[in-house]
Structure 1
Amino acid sequence: MIWSLSFDPLVPLWLLAGAGGIALLLAIAALVLRLPAWPLRWLAMALLVLALAGPAIEREDRELLESVVAIVVDESQSQRLAGRADTTVAALAALEQRFEALPGYELRVVRAGRGTAASTEGTALFSTLASSLADVPPERIGGAVLLTDGQVHDIPGKASDLGFTAPVHALVTGTADEIDRRLAIARAPRFGLVNSQQVVTLQLQDQGPAAPSGRVPLTVRRDGEIVTRLQITPGGTIDIPVEIAHGGDNIFEFSAEPLPGELTRLNNQVVVTIEGIRENLRVLLVSGSPHAGERTWRNLLKSDASVDLVHFTILRPPTKQDGTPTNELSLISFPTRELFSVKIDEFDLIIFDRYELRSVLPLLYFDNITRFVRGGGAVLVAVGPDYAYDRSIYRTPLSPVLPAVPTGVVHEEPFRAAISETGARHPVTRGLPGAAATPPAWSRWFRLIDAVVTTGGETLMTGGDGDKPLLVLSREEEGRVAVLLSDHVWLWARGYEGGGPHVPLLRRLAHWLMKEPDLEEEALRLEARGPEVIAERQTIGTSAEDFTLTLPGGETRRLTPVEVSPGLWRATAPAPDLGLYTVDDGTRKALVHVGPPNPREFADVLSTTETLAPLAEATGGAIARLRGEGASPTAIDMPRVVPLRRANDYSGDGWIGFRSTDASMLKGIDRYPLFSGLLGLALLLGAAVLTWYREGR
């Protein structure tokens, strides 16, 4: 309780001041004239002026507030090494027990260093500390305790930046004899041309007082498969050439042999993702018999900036003898030997558009094309009536790789192309605009070449009465082949009856043939999106196996995928840690790296007291290790907790101190007026009577 004197004037201040002035003048006059009982006159006038001022005695009922102490628990990945988490749990329990027995303190436990902020900026403890104390006045803050390994990346430059004047103590997990090996990326490209070599520069460091020396084996993997093994010297750098094998993400893992007794193996490996960029894809388009849709393929391929197109239209076979002088011919001769023998391997895709045997290509060259396919090339055959008859391209040595065998029948009747059950799950034809309607919302075609699909061929589109193959795809060893059994796709391009999705269909088809990763019909992918990793299984099958997700620390989780669209199955999982995540469905494997290539969290994982020592010293706090070398993680040396009012130093041998606040909260005020009621009247009358009595003697 606090007692005080207050005033509540009964008249305006100017009138009260005037009355006081008059009383003072009368008192001086009585003194000068030496009137009888002049001291009593003074007393009476003073009491009258005081009564007009409304004096009162106030009693404040106040409650002392508790001092707020924050305990910041470091939950970063480095805190889960070598029993540090167990040490932290034991230290937190001991602190909570000590503060329970200590009155006048409010304890706030906050956890920090985990999540997206830690993924990019390292371990951030002081930003979390500031947030936890944002609603507390600075005079109520009694101090803070950091339970950490000392690897903190947002330490204020000055103690004044904390926003309060109270001690900051750091209780450090880990021991001083730790060692660790770390592999870091010094330089790495982000992009590279497919089939080219790029150089990744790595640096290896052995940290700690007893780290050995000597060359260290290094393993290089691409997309999970070992490609080479090298030797690297700690403390130096090495340039490693890597080959970009395919378009899209090429994920390279570099793993150094573990150091005996080291803290963690997580920073023994680094991951570099290099996006494979294809040079302009080279396409050879060979048009045979002229027809209305001859330019459909040419226009589509010429509109794609990533395609270099070589186009020949065969109008004049070499056997034609019409007597025209050679120097008057406007046509160039077809360079068959150069294209189909010398430079055939320079192409990615060969398209035959209504090609028929006209003695232009010797049969030997079709052997070359077959070998081209089996060696990794691609062929697309868009056929017309010629495919059904004697001069069909199927009657060449190319037939062993063609997945559609003509029956000799040509259907000349209107039909609508439809997506087959397999096609609904295949990325080439899945989700084509208009395909969901019944019948599909695109125009009719009027010609279909009847054929039988061979073993290994997949029918993605059908026509005729609904069961006849229209678009057939197949894989032939390392290469790919597609057959489009109609020459009326140009009706979609011309907008007949509203047209159809010829651009997405033909573009997807061409890019599937050229092995675009996003169009693989059987694939497993893993990507990081925000705080999650997303695993996707693309399949033309009707089901997908469960996934096994491996986290950076080696823990595994079982994921059950859900079909989100035909042929596409997906599962998500939280990604709490930095590093390499791997998903496996039993036959395929996919990888993704979460976080920056060289995360600050693993730049140095050795526990230290040096980083926080300047701040602890500036605030009068202490910094100490919780356990000695070789001690059990739960066998900690916990200091005593001592409350202090004011001090320059809040730590000592075996103890840490916290400031006790003087702040209080006002609960109520009791007011006792001095001149109210009979008491005030009695004082005034008493003074007047006493003055009258003295003057009367």
Structure 2
Amino acid sequence: MNLDVAFAPLIPLVPLIALGVAGAVVAALCVLGRTRGAWLRAGAIACLLLALANPSFTREDRETLTNILPVVVDRSGSQTLDGRGAQTDEVRRQVEARLQGLPNTEVRWIEAGQDGTSADGTELFAALRTALADVPPERVAGALFVTDGVVHDAPADARDLGFAAPVHTLVTGRPDERDRRVALTHSPRFGIVGQAQRVGFRVHETGFQGGRPVPVVVRRDGEEIERFEAFPGEETTFEAPISHAGVNFIEIEAETAPGEITAVNNRAVLPIDGVREKLRVLLVSGEPHAGERTWRNLLKADASVDLVHFTILRPPDKQDGTPINELSLIAFPTRELFAQKIDEFDLIIFDRYARQGILPIIYFENIARYVRNGGAVLVASGPDYAEPGSLFETPLAQVLPAEPMGGVLERAFKAELSPVGRKHPVTRGLPGSETTPPSWAPWFRMVDSRMHEGESVLNGPDERPLLVLAREDKGRVALLLSDHAWLWARGFDGGGPHVDLLRRLSHWLMQEPDLEEEALRAKATGKTIVFERQTLKDDAAPVEVTLPSGATRRIELKEAEPGLWRGELETPELGLHRAVDGTFSTLVNVGPPNPREFTEVTSTATRMTAIANATGGSVRRVVAEAGDDIAIPRVVQVAAGARASGSDWIGVRQADASVVRGIGILPVFAGVLGLLLLLGAFAAAWAREGR
């Protein structure tokens, strides 16, 4: 209980002060003049002034609040290494026992870092601030951390804590730990497909004697590409080839040393996004026709495509007597395109092209060889494919997947997805294909043909092949047996998905990874990995996933839509995961490529020393020497500002926080009591003066 005196003047302060001065002068004159009853008069004046000042006694009933002591227990990834988890559990048990006898103290246990999803490493102080968000600073008795010392958010300034109390740290781990790690020094994010990027790294060692060279293996997408030795502490560089578009995972793994606390950080992962240079497409139109600009407009609208387009306006068999020097036409550079620079193109499109004596037979041999070596050819045919002079009568027929039967069907029909087409990424899910027949516009002409290889993904009437896709050695070929795709582009009878179809088709031919009909893919969102198996088969094998630690998981896939199977894994680990299904393999990274949590894993007291010194706290290992038992100091309460640690003890502040539970006010000059005091004072002065 606290007792205080408070004043609530009945008149403004300035007049009250003036009256006080006047009263003091009158009292002084009376005393100095030795007037009878001078002191009684002074007392009466004082009582009057006090009555005007209106004093009152205030009584507060206060309840002392408990001290809050947060204990932050580090459960991050590095705390799972080398038996630190068991050490942490034992330290917590001993700390609980030590704190049981601490008077007037509420202990708040904070488990931090167990989710392991932060790209910024172990953030114990963030967890501490969250737990103390509802606690006034004066109630905080201190803070106690149980950690291996690998803390990445320790404040540089003690004022950032938000309270003034000692911070103590109990460090787990062994003092003689050894570790080897790989750190990237030059890590490009992008690379041109077909070229190489320079990558730099450095091998760091802790607890080792000498600087012997360390064997290092480099892998790309799980396949070994190089081996060499690196000297610890020195930067090593190498050239990493970028083999495909999309993410190329470059792994640098140093040999595991005997006695290391972990091999997790012996490997550094560098994801490099492979970027294609502009795809070069050669479009050869055999003659002007209504659908010619459909291909041109589509390809020119694609920013990733560099288009070279030639239209045969005057073949050799069409002579009108105009002298060559008066023609504004460009001669078709056949030798330059099909002999010298053919390998520079990613795709060659023949649009309604027939043999017209322009390309010698030897050039068709070159085109067939170009396909087998990894090139791509698309034949968008019309009646020309069924007539004499067809491309099928050239050496290009060696790679064409369908043979013309000599007839052209000319009647209205709607293209429909074949059973394979419903699964193939080129045609799967085309807008309008949900209904039977599809809701797109009809075509009116197609070439009757017979397939001898490949797959028909679009069928015409009577299930005749309309769009045939085939692989030839390293290359790919597509054969579109109608020249009426332009009807969709013009919006005839509602049009159709010509942009989706033709763009997917051209990019499949140019080996776009996302359009592979047989592939295993994985994508991570948070700690959830979604596996996708694209296949034309009727089922998909389970996926075996290898976690960064070496543990494995088996994931069953379920059909999400025709040709696409999916499965999910909630992974407990950060880092690079490998997935295989017996045929294909893929890599997926969860979290940052090289988690900061595992960059430096040796236990240390240095990171917490600055904040401990600034707050009067301490940092000490729970195991002083290798082989010792775990021992923690005593915990005692100390006054604010007193020493907070000793050789075998640590101190927490005894807070003085309290809360008012009740209040009482007694005015001195209010009511009968005040009236009696005033009357008594003046009556005494009058009686003394009248004698």
Q: Same fold by TM-score, threshold 0.5 exceeded?
A: yes
1:196 corresponds in structure 2 to: 195
Note if 1:81 corresponds to 2:81: yes
String of CA shifts for 1:268-311, please: whole Å, max 9, x gaps.
11122222233333334344465433443344334444434455
1:377 and 1:479 in contact (8 A); partners too: yes
Paired with 1:97 and 1:420, the residues of 2 have a C-alpha distance of 73
- Report the 3-state secondary structure (helix = DSSP H, G, I; strand = E; otherwise coil) of the residue aligned with 1:537: strand
CA distance in 2, matches of 1:567, 1:394: 32
Q: Distance in 2 between matches of 1:679 and 1:326?
A: 131
Query: By how many angstroms is 1:144 displaced?
Result: 1.2
* Structure 2 partner of 1:414: 412
Matching of residues 243-322 of structure 1 within 5 Å: 243-288=241-286, 291-313=289-311
427-436 vs 6-15, which moves further: 6-15
Q: Give the structure 2 partner of residue 639 of structure 1.
A: 633
**2:372 equivalent among 363, 374, 385:** 374
Is the 8 Å Cα contact of residues 63 and 664 (structure 1) preserved in structure 2? yes
- After TM superposition, list the pairs within 5 Å mapping 1:126-525 onto structure 2: 126-208=125-207, 210-211=208-209, 213-288=211-286, 291-313=289-311, 339-340=337-338, 343-358=341-356, 365-389=363-387, 391-436=389-434, 439-455=437-453, 457-465=454-462, 467-525=463-521
Q: CA deviation at 1:668?
A: 0.3
The 1:334/1:52 distance shift into structure 2, 3 A limit, reads: closer
After superposition, give the CA deviation of every residue in 1:461-507 in whole Å (9 maximum; x if it has no partner). Answer: 22225x22211112223221211111112223334334333233222
Shift of 1:61: 0.9
Residues 448, 464 of structure 1: 8 Å contact kept: no
| Cα distance, 1:395–1:627 mapped onto 2, change above 3 Å | same
Deviations 1:213-248 (A, max 9, x none): 422222222111222322222222222222221222
The secondary structure found in structure 2 opposite 1:186 is strand
Distance 1:44 1:298, change over 3 A: closer
Superposition deviation, residue 365 in structure 1: 5.0
State yes or no: 1:607 paired with 2:606. no
Q: Distance in 1 between matches of 2:515 and 2:102?
A: 66
AA partner of residue 469 (structure 1): P
Q: Distance in 2 between matches of 1:385 and 1:496?
A: 21
1:671–1:275 Cα change, 3 Å: closer
Give the secondary structure class of the aligned counterpart of 1:118. coil
The alignment covers a number of residue pairs equal to: 691
Which letter maps to 2:239? P
Paired letter, 1:273: P
The aligned amino acid for 2:349 is: I
After alignment, is 11-20 or 109-118 more displaced?
A: 11-20
- Could you say if the C-alpha distance between residues 230 and 319 of structure 1 is closer, same or farther in structure 2, counting changes exceeding 3 Å? farther
State the partner residue of 1:670.
664
User: What secondary structure does 1:652 align onto?
Assistant: coil
**Deviations 1:407-466 (CA, angstroms, capped at 9, x unpaired):** 3332110112223343233222233344345543433211122233335x222222225x
For 2:95, the equivalent position in structure 1 comes to 95
| Bigger shift: residues 425-434 or 475-484 | 425-434
Pick aligned residue for 2:575 from 564, 575, 579 = 579
- Contact kept, 8 Å, 1:113 with 1:123, in 2: the verdict is yes
Q: In structure 2, how many angstroms separate the alpha carbons of the residues matched to 1:295 and 1:680?
A: 108
Question: What secondary structure, in the 3-state scheme, does the structure 1 residue paired with 2:422 have?
Answer: helix
Bigger shift: residues 508-517 or 346-355: 346-355
How far the C-alpha of 1:606 sits from its partner, in A, is 1.5
Cα 1:308–1:20 shift into 2, 3 Å: closer
- Structure 1 residue 142: Cα displacement: 1.3
CA distance in 1, matches of 2:533, 2:403: 32
Unaligned stretches of 5+ residues in structure 2: none
Q: Is the 8 A contact 2:116 2:574 kept in 1?
A: no
| CA distance in 2: counterparts of 1:314 and 1:693, whole angstroms | 138
Match of 1:65 in 2: 65
| Contact kept? 1:186, 1:202, Cα under 8 Å | yes
Q: CA–CA distance in 1 between the matches of 2:318 and 2:686? A: 155
**In 2, Cα distance between the equivalents of 1:685 and 1:202?**
96
Deviations, residues 305-324 of structure 1 (Å, cap 9, x unaligned) = 44344555557777899999
**Aligned equivalents of 2:689, 2:245: Cα separation in 1:** 119
The 2-side partners of 1:136 and 1:547 are apart by 49
What is the TM-score when the length of structure 1 is the normalising length?
0.87
Q: Residue type matched to 1:624 in 2?
A: R
Partner deviation per Cα, 1:87-118 (whole Å, 9 max, x = no partner): 22332333234333312222233344466883
The one-letter code of the counterpart of 2:189 is R
Alpha carbon RMSD of aligned pairs, Å? 3.7
Q: 2:643 aligns with which of 642, 649, 662?
A: 649
| Secondary structure in structure 2 of the residue aligned to 1:250 | strand
Counterparts of 2:519 and 2:612 in 1: how far apart (Å)?
A: 54
1:537 deviation in Å? Answer: 2.9
Moved more, 621-630 or 309-318: 309-318
1:118 correspondence with 2:118: yes
Aligned counterparts of 2:528 and 2:415: Cα–Cα separation in 1: 40
Task: Assess if the C-alpha contact under 8 Å between 1:165 and 1:619 holds in 2.
Answer: yes
Match of 1:526 in 2: 522
Give the Cα separation in 1 of the matches to 2:622 and 2:234.
35
Instruction: Give yes or no for contact 1:527–1:535 (8 Å, CA) kept in 2.
Output: yes
TM-score where L is the length of structure 2 = 0.88
Distance 1:673 1:433 in 2: 87
Aligned to 1:627: 623
Alpha-carbon distance in 1 for matches of 2:274, 2:48: 99
How far apart in 1 are the matches of 2:332 and 2:682? 138
Cα separation, 2, equivalents of 1:426 and 1:404 = 19
Distance 2:191 2:667 in 1: 90
Is the CA contact (8 Å cut-off) linking 1:116 and 1:531 kept in structure 2? no
CA distance in 1 between counterparts of 2:33 and 2:322 reads 154
How far apart are the structure 1 equivalents of 2:56 and 2:294? 102
Change (3 A) 1:680 1:500: closer
Partner amino acid for 1:222?
R
The farther-off stretch of 103-112 and 619-628 is 103-112
